[in-house]
Amino acid sequence: MHKFNYRIVLSSIGILLMIEAFFMLLSAFVGVHYKESAVQGIYFSSIITVVSGGVLMFLGRKKRTVSSRITKREVYLTVTSAWVMMTLFGTLPFLLSDAIPSFSDAFFETMCGFTTTGSSTLINIEAFPKSLHFWRSFTQWIGGIGIIIFVMSFMPVFGGSSGQFFDAESTGITEDLMRPRINVITTHMALTYIGLTIVGFLFLWAGPMNSFDAACHTFSAISTGGFSTKQASIAYFNSPYTEYVITALMFFGGTNFMLLFTFFSRHNLQTFRNEEFRWYIIIILIFTLGISAMLLTSGKLNNVEYTIRTALFQVVSAVTSTGYATVDYLSWGEIYWLLFLAMILFCGCEGSTSGGMKLSRLVVLAKNTLLVFKKQVHPDALYRVKINGKVISENTSSKIYAFVFLYLILAAFSAVILSFTGMTFNESIGVSVSSISSYGFGLGSYGPSGTFESASVFAKYYLCFLMLVGRLEVFTVLSLFVPSFWKR
């Protein structure tokens, strides 16, 4: 095994930090517009970040002359370290403006942003400076598509290694099919993401939201993040129009962006014959109609349109791992808790901004289970799992089984760990599944009506780790804990 190329790791992180510093300035401009004192803290944060990024780029300046080779080890370390470092520097606007004086709370808030988890420690959101509201929401927009993928879309900074970086940060099971055109793929994804953001902003602005609220909610809705500028979240606006627009944005955010790009560019409805997308729609419809029927027959809600709209909003929010809410669904009863926990486990499509295990993996697992029954009856028959007419290789299948196993084991293990921090049994399970799936809401006091302000310091840092593992699809982060990873 070749010598570890630390120079390319440092250089890559340096580039990303300098880009983050530029993003901070956008929030500063918002502060200038609203004449907020917090803008000084953001300026200092941007300066510190750009200088730190420049130092790292200087330290890694000879990466091409000593050892230009880059392997999965450098890629995994770069991607994981980049997310941690961007989160670390992303806390500065909160700390230097004294808006969130606690480092652990600021780090937690920023990690929730970049991983699009949507959990929060804030208990008086309306009193928060608008410039920092913008930064909170913008971190979710940055992390939604993946900062490295976004950078690759417009800057060829990773050269021939782009495919490996894409695999380490992207979601789903078909990355290998796209690697030959990786620059085209990332550009199309970014353009679709930006286009949906612009359209979503215009639609929200046309409703009861002002331009600032429309921008912040568009960032967090299309990224399936869930941050809001209001303590009551979307319910604050009391607008069916706003709820339907947000629902549409969350739905698109949970859809494969390459699928959307193909549809918008070619206007071909055949695009949506994609199996995963069909199951995505079917699951949303089944849960929406089922929950609506349960609420109406039980008398918990009476108005049909309101019931369906409310159920649809909560279901899409859960399936896409967004974490928005218009009602506290925990008050509906325990059966609804289980339904929502099930929804946030698998979540949206691959190539989207949603968290969870992804429906493509669920489809493969379901089809493989059916084949097991068929082989019991016809042991000599040759069966293969297919998605969209293409055979899923044994290598891909084994990765899916390992991924699901690790995902569920980590969620269960984390629930046990969190139970020792003072959380109840229900709370530890809900928070564990919610965090690794990038959803945001848990159970009990960590549900839609609560915050994570009361969680212990250890719990907050552990949840940050869990969010990062879930956002980077488990293997990228956990590989760093394998001893052989560091051996030469």
CB 461 within 8 A of CB 105: no
Q: What is the pLDDT of residue 32?
A: 95
**pLDDT over 50 (residue 18):** yes
Place of tokens 């008398």: 299
Q: Pick the more confident residue, 246 or 15.
A: 246
**pLDDT over 70 (residue 115):** yes
d(CA 59, CA 14): 9
Tokens of 354: 């949603």
Report, as an integer, the average pLDDT of 251-267.
86
pLDDT confidence of 188, banded at 50, 70, 90? Answer: confident
d(CA 400, CA 367): 13
Q: What is the pLDDT of residue 176?
A: 44
Q: What is the pLDDT of residue 183?
A: 67
Q: Pick the more confident residue, 118 or 267.
A: 118
Give the C-alpha distances (Å, rounded to integers) separating 19 from 74, 142, 364, 444.
20, 11, 38, 39
pLDDT confidence of 485, banded at 50, 70, 90? Answer: confident
Classify burial at 207, counting beta carbons within 10 Å of its beta carbon; exposed 0-12, middle 13-18, buried 19 or more: middle
Paired with 391 in beta bridges are: 386
CB 406 within 8 A of CB 478: yes
Q: Pick the more confident residue, 364 or 267.
A: 364
pLDDT confidence of 8, banded at 50, 70, 90? Answer: confident
What are phi and psi for residue 330, nearest 5 degrees?
A: -65, -25
User: Mean pLDDT, the chain, as a whole number?
Assistant: 86
CB atoms within 10 A of CB 328: 13
**pLDDT over 90 (residue 39):** yes
Q: What is the pLDDT of residue 466?
A: 95
Segment among 39-43, 198-202, 271-275, 293-297 with least mean pLDDT: 271-275
Q: Pick the more confident residue, 363 or 48.
A: 48
Task: Read off the amino acid at residue 393.
Answer: S
Task: Round the CA-based radius of gyration of the chain to a whole number and report it.
Answer: 22
**pLDDT over 70 (residue 488):** no
pLDDT in tens, 214-251: 999 999 999 999 999 998 899 999 999 999 999 999 99
Instruction: Calculate what percentage of the chain has a pLDDT beyond 90.
Output: 51
Q: What is the pLDDT of residue 132?
A: 96
Q: What is the pLDDT of residue 382?
A: 75
Task: Read off the amino acid at residue 32.
Answer: V
262-298 per-residue burial string, b: 16 or more CB within 10 A, e: under 16: bbeeeeeeebeebebbebbeebbeebbeebbebbbee
CB 460 within 8 A of CB 446: no
**pLDDT over 70 (residue 305):** yes
Report, as an integer, the average pLDDT of 65-91.
81
**pLDDT over 90 (residue 295):** yes
Report, as an integer, the average pLDDT of 311-326.
94
Q: What is the pLDDT of residue 179?
A: 46
CB 173 within 8 A of CB 361: yes
